[in-house]
Amino acid sequence: MDRFIIRGGRRLTGEIEIGGAKNSGLKLMVAGLLTSERLVLSNVPAIADIKTMRDLLVGLGIMVEDAGPRTLSIGGEIGSVEAPYDIVSKMRASILVLGPLLARAHEAKVSLPGGCAIGTRPVDMHLKGLETLGAVIRLENGYINATAPDGLKGDRIILPFASVGATENLLMAATLAKGRTHIVNAAREPEISDLVHCLNAMGAQITGEGSGTLVIDGVEKLHGAHYAVMPDRIECGTYACAAGITGGDLLLVGGRADDLGSVIRTLEETGVEVVEEERGLRVRRSGTLQGVDIMTEPYPGFPT
């Protein structure tokens, strides 16, 4: 398709089902590296990044099978610890296999990531955090070569800023580390809480999500679980804005107010009504829109 033709001026009404969150589903797939048992994920979005992550996991020896509509079954023994450039360069989330590979296989060779070019996305916090847990890391020929022959060991990690990716990578690595790990200044996004809940369902011992400090007591191994990917809060907020812009009335099926942070307050300030119902969020506007000032910030602030 070369173009979209949009004929505007109409109210948007009806129902829209909110899909699974890409930014959660990708990380939950990576969590499947932490156990040889089956992690069954439902509500997985059908998007290109999910296919790329599937290809990456299969390349590492992990079985990824369809187990129903929008459902994947993930698990198996790790057959390779190398995440090659041709896959990692397609998607920056690929760097997240580093922590789980170190935790379970005690070694990893991961290409430095490419992907989305919105500003710089250094991996220094990932690497320094893993070194704090006892990993030995070398950068060679565009690859991160990491080893932990005696396994990872719990420690206190203070992140210089609340990086979502670093929090996720270190969180997964710490689940199988010996002893207790504190991640201070951890990201507080709902996707972090979703990962925590999934890992705990697999037998991890993690507390503190949403507080800025995660406490992880390492366990010897994790087991399989069934888990549903959270609804996509960015998709939900976008449709909510569309209802407000057009003076519409939409039921966002599966939408959750707790995930949207300041978005709901901002919408209400513009004159848009947001109401929680049994099946999701009702968003509608009947009056005139009011202008508001918005500053984008990390969660629970308004998302970029």
Please give the positions annotated as active site: 116
Q: For residue 232, what are the contacts with CB-CB under 8 A and spacing of at least 6?
A: 18, 19, 20, 21, 22, 23, 24, 45
Stated as kind and residue range, the H or E segment containing 194 is helix 190-201
Its sign, for the CA torsion 267, 269, 270, 276, is positive
Tell me if 179 sits within 8 A of 171, measured CB to CB: no
Closest by CA to 184, choosing from 132, 106, 120, is 132
d(CA 219, CA 204): 7
In the chain, what is the straight-line distance between the N-terminal and C-terminal CA atoms, in Å? 27
